[in-house]
Amino acid sequence: MQGEFQNGFKCADFDALLTEAIDGTLTGTQSMRFEAHRESCAQCSVLFAEAKAGHDWLETLPEVEPPVNLVKLILAATQETVRAETDARHARQSWSERMRELLALKVRPVFASVAQPRFAMSFGMAFFSVTLMLNVTGFRLTNLRHVDLRPSSVVRSYYETTGRLVKYYQNIRFVYEIETRVRELKRAATPEEKPSGSDKPQERKEQNRGNDREKNYQNYSREDSSPYLAQMTNGVQDELTAARRCS
Amino acid sequence: MDDAQVVAALVRRCVAGDATAWEDIVRRLNRRIYNICYRFTGSGDDAQDLTQEVFIKVYRTLDSFDVEKGSFMTWVTTVTRNLLVDHFRKTKQDRVTDSLDNSGSEDEDMLPLSEQIADSGPSPDVRVHRRETQELVQRALQKLSPELREAVILRDLQDMDYKDIALSLKVPEGTVKSRINRGRVELARLLSRTYRQVM
């Protein structure tokens, strides 16, 4: 390139406009100056001719037809790749990650509607109530650590608890029966007083109340333990001592 | 709605998990990608394999496509170009190094260049000559360096504008024009040398 030619148009300028000139997009003054330079500069003239020839050669190349099954192959390849990647990812994942993914895909959308402030407030209140109740009743979650959850231990605990309940029930019943007996003996040992005229109604009321209570105890005793009551008349003192020991 | 907008809508549907949208994208673009690959490699088998690779890569990275950074076609062209360059590097050792001049010696009865370019007659002879000329041009194209080859393919065979080519190749627009000029000149010189020997 010789550098500057007429009108200050250089070979570098010619080179810069070469693509536009071949595309046919040069207009006006630019086109005139380009053409003038091409005619006056031998090297640029050759350059233009070669570039134009190269462009024309490339224009002869037609668009090639892709193979008929190319689309099917591409779709199959992409599906296969996605499947392989998913399998590989699952193989790499631990069970906790899989569970997390399952939760994200299946469970989270279901609970998305529940995860709102008003529901959160309700859950918070419910949790607070349950916690308060457990605290009041003296229950501590840390106690659960010591619970033996082996099947044999659970069965043993069940039988022990049942036994304790039955024993407690029988003891209570026994105490009531003894109390009833003692009350009867007291009444039998105390001589009856002649009631005065003014106290008669009041005394009669008290007596009726006592009879009612007695009836209740007797009814209670008669339900299940009539044979036992039959024996009580002979050894009341011994039974009373035994009951005191039990209670 | 123009073609770019349609493709952009298809991409959005595809990212949302619509399988039919992906199929539409493949049907729309496979021809273009195959042509770029074919002209770059000069082999139908390689072009087919590379086209599949391009679509697999596009499918995997579809989430990363950013509409703000350019059209989908430009993005796909960039992916294609990167894979082609990788392929070029991998096959450098295996590449056939036959001289273009040797291959031209078989066509001693060919018409002069100017006549071949201008000729569009339908006769069988002309068709044969045209096909042979196309093969020669394709071989000459293979002789160009990858930088010049990709530039002239995208401009002269795919009709992309300079701005999109610059985005695809990640070089300034001036560099793109320079490479196109050099590519065309280099191609013309290779072919004229071939025909000088033939004549």
Would you place residue A7 in the very low, low, confident or very high pLDDT band (cuts 50, 70, 90)? low
Instruction: Name the residue facing A55 among B26, B34, B184 (closest C-beta).
Output: B184
The fold of B1-95 is Rna Polymerase Sigma Factor; Chain: A (1.10.1740)
Chain mean pLDDT for chain A = 79
Please name the residue of chain A whose CA is at the shortest distance from the CA of residue B154.
A58
Instruction: Name the residue facing B187 among A54, A71, A82 (closest C-beta).
Output: A54
Which is more confidently placed, B118 or A73?
A73
CATH class of B98-199: mainly alpha
CA dihedral A133, A138, A144, A146 (to 10 degrees): 180
Question: Which positions ≥6 away from B199 have C-beta within 8 Å?
Answer: B112
Which is more confidently placed, A198 or A148?
A148
- Read off the tokens for A225: 């333990």
- Residue A25: strand, helix, or coil: coil
Is the Cα dihedral A209, A215, A218, A219 positive or negative? negative
- Residues B51 and A66: beta-carbon distance below 8 Å: yes
**Does the beta-carbon distance from B117 to A57 stay under 8 Å?**
yes
**ipTM metric:** 0.78
Q: A66 CB near a chain B CB, below 8 Å? A: yes
Query: How many inter-chain contacts (A to B, CB under 8 Å) are there?
Result: 114
- Residues A78 and B30: beta-carbon distance below 8 Å: no
B21: phi then psi, degrees, rounded to nearest 5: -65, -40
Å from A84 to nearest chain B CA?
12
**Does the beta-carbon distance from B138 to A75 stay under 8 Å?**
no
Give the domain ranges of chain B. Answer: 1-95, 98-199
Give the domain ranges of chain A. Answer: 6-59, 72-112, 116-147, 152-193+201-246
> Along the 199 residues of chain B, how does pLDDT read in single tens digits?
677 788 888 888 888 888 888 899 999 999 999 999 999 998 899 999 999 999 999 998 888 888 777 888 899 999 999 999 999 888 876 665 544 444 443 333 444 455 555 555 567 888 888 888 888 899 999 999 999 999 999 999 999 999 999 999 999 999 999 999 999 999 999 998 887 665 5
Which is more confidently placed, B64 or A216?
B64
- Read off the tokens for A97: 């990650």
Q: Which helix (H) or strand (E) holds B100?
A: helix B100-104
Å from A14 to nearest chain B CA?
12
Confidence at residue B182, expressed as pLDDT on a 0 to 100 scale: 94
Confidence at residue A210, expressed as pLDDT on a 0 to 100 scale: 58
For range A196-211, the mean pLDDT: 60
Would you place residue A81 in the very low, low, confident or very high pLDDT band (cuts 50, 70, 90)? confident
In angstroms, what CA-CA distances link B167 with A42, A64, B77, B162? Answer: 34, 25, 9, 9
Q: Using one digit for the tens of pLDDT, what is the confidence trace for A15-69?
A: 889 999 998 888 888 888 898 898 888 889 999 999 999 999 998 898 999 998 9
Rounded Cα gap, residues B162 and B177, in angstroms: 7
**Does the beta-carbon distance from A59 to B130 stay under 8 Å?**
no
**Does the beta-carbon distance from A66 to B31 stay under 8 Å?**
yes
Confidence at residue B108, expressed as pLDDT on a 0 to 100 scale: 38
Rounded Cα gap, residues B40 and B138, in angstroms: 9
Question: Which positions ≥6 away from A48 have C-beta within 8 Å?
Answer: A14, A18, A21, A22, A38
CA atoms within 13 A on the CB side of B177: 17
Is residue A114 over pLDDT 90?
A: no
Please name the residue of chain B whose CA is at the shortest distance from the CA of residue A56.
B117
Q: A121 CB near a chain B CB, below 8 Å? A: no
What residues are paired with A4 via a beta bridge?
A: A10
Q: A15 CB near a chain B CB, below 8 Å? A: yes
Confidence at residue A220, expressed as pLDDT on a 0 to 100 scale: 52
The angle subtended at Cα B191 by Cα B189 and Cα B193, nearest 5°, is: 70
Q: Using one digit for the tens of pLDDT, what is the confidence trace for B158-194?
A: 999 999 999 999 999 999 999 999 999 999 999 988 8
Confidence at residue A203, expressed as pLDDT on a 0 to 100 scale: 60
- Residues B171 and B150: beta-carbon distance below 8 Å: no
Would you place residue A205 in the very low, low, confident or very high pLDDT band (cuts 50, 70, 90)? low
Rounded Cα gap, residues B184 and B38, in angstroms: 18
Rounded Cα gap, residues B151 and B28, in angstroms: 23
In angstroms, what CA-CA distances link B60 with A81, B21, B32? Answer: 9, 15, 20
Over its C-alpha atoms, chain A yields an Rg (Å, rounded) of 54
**Is this model's pTM higher than 0.80 or not?**
no
